[in-house]
Amino acid sequence: MRRKAWMPTFVLSLVALSATIYLVHYLVFADAEHLLKYGLHELAFVPMEVLLVSLVLHRFLERREKRERLEKLNMVIGTFFVEMGSDALSRISAFDTDDPPLPERYSPRANWTEKEYAAAIGAVHHVSDGVDAAHGDLVELRDYLRQNRDFMMRMLENPNLFEHDEFTDLLWALVHLSEELSRRPSLADLPESDLFHLSGDMRRAYGLLLARWLHYLEDLRTRYPYLYSLAIRTNPFDPNASPVVE
């Protein structure tokens, strides 16, 4: 509130300055008709000036601010995948009973185009029933998510995430999966009904992770080719991947 306290004084100062200039003009030239005529002429352009500033300029600044926030968001998403996202995807894919698993079927190549990325992203949003909680090591997954819980919560506190509902949903899906696994006294000998429930939670996180991973790689392809090259060469779902450039 204190920062905006100067606004009324500033507005009144401008009005007073304008009135003073008009008064000086009248005292020097004593031509009230001229002042009235050209004063109304200038006043007629005020609505157009307001339109230009409030709509065109405001929209330009808003678009620029949004672009800057999206750039910051991409940096946050990049940090997420470097720190834990790619590893989390690898661990959850161990529960994918499809042959081959989804990440291998839609594993990007260095020469993928925007069209190929769009097709893959659309496909992985519909994760099949192949994800089975009984197929992998739930204890290992629980411990891994628990170790990274603080990191995910710090991510959720980032104000830039409000621009991107899908990534926020992904973080909450992982946090929820971590909670589900951590709240059970034991993950051994779970009934089929509970395994079915956990499989649903895993499918939700799995599909969001896959889609965001592909979005992340596509963004690297267009913005950071050198990072994209490394990401493709170290793709955990490509059996022939190698960081060595040949």
Q: Which residue has the higher pLDDT, 224 or 24?
A: 224
> What are the pLDDT digits (tens) for 95-149?
988 777 777 777 888 889 989 988 888 888 766 677 899 988 999 999 999 999 9
Amino acid in position 193: S
Band (pLDDT 50/70/90 cuts) for residue 59 is confident
Average pLDDT estimate for 68-76: 79
Cis previous bond, 108, omega within 30: no
Residue 179 gets the label, from left (phi > 0), alpha (psi -120 to 50) or beta, of alpha
Distance of CA 153 to the CA centre of its chain: 15
Task: Please give the mean pLDDT across all residues of the chain.
Answer: 82
Alpha helices, H only, the chain? 6-29, 32-43, 46-51, 58-80, 86-93, 102-105, 114-124, 138-147, 149-156, 165-183, 192-223, 225-233
